Amino acid sequence: MSRTFQDAQEKKRKQEAYQQLVAKRKPKPPYLRHFLVAFLVGGSLCALGQFILNIFMRRGMDMNAASAPTLAVMILFGIVLTALGVYDEIAEFAGAGAAVPITGFANTVAACAMDFKREGWVLGMGSKMFVIAGPVLVYGVLSGVSAAFIKYVTGL
């Protein structure tokens, strides 16, 4: 074997040993804490949505009629918290608990719109605010169409 090949093999062994040492010494993330915080924050946002839904229902709306204004209020809530810079702090603390409800979707769209506003209304804010949210909309629509097709075919 040539000397350069042996040097390369030795370097590779040292890198692998170093990677194993790093993996062994790397602190483990507090998974239980992350799960609990995400559950509590996401659950709190959902409880807030339920509270708002109940307010609309007490005013005489049925469940179907009250759901649209409830969604609008929750989206507005997410956008206002994003504009104030609060939602980013909540999302950093709660992780997926803040990303999953509709307020997280509103945060994504509003944050993109705010980031690209200086590039103009149409080419900046108008086109860039759906960079992240666009795939969510596409897959949501495709999932709905697929579910409806399966329901139609199976007759359920």
On the CB side of 91, CA atoms within 13 Å amount to 18
Higher pLDDT, 68 or 17: 68
Q: Which residues contact 119 (CB under 8 A, 6 or more apart)?
A: 125, 128
**Rounded Cα distance, 50 and 35, in Å:** 22
Q: How many C-beta neighbours within 10 Å does residue 107 have?
A: 26
Global pTM? 0.68
The two structure tokens encoding residue 19: 């990677």
On the CB side of 146, CA atoms within 13 Å amount to 6
Q: Judge whether 83 and 114 are in contact, CB under 8 Å.
A: yes
Q: How many C-beta neighbours within 10 Å does residue 64 have?
A: 7
User: Which residue from 74, 55, 77, 76 is spatially nearest to 66, judged by alpha carbons?
Assistant: 55
Band (150; pLDDT cuts 50, 70, 90) = very high
User: Which residue from 43, 64, 42 is spatially nearest to 53, judged by alpha carbons?
Assistant: 64
Higher pLDDT, 3 or 41: 41
User: Which residue from 100, 123, 125 is spatially nearest to 115, judged by alpha carbons?
Assistant: 125
Kindly report, residue by residue over 50-106, the tens digit of the pLDDT: 999 999 999 999 999 999 999 999 999 999 999 999 999 999 999 889 987 889 888
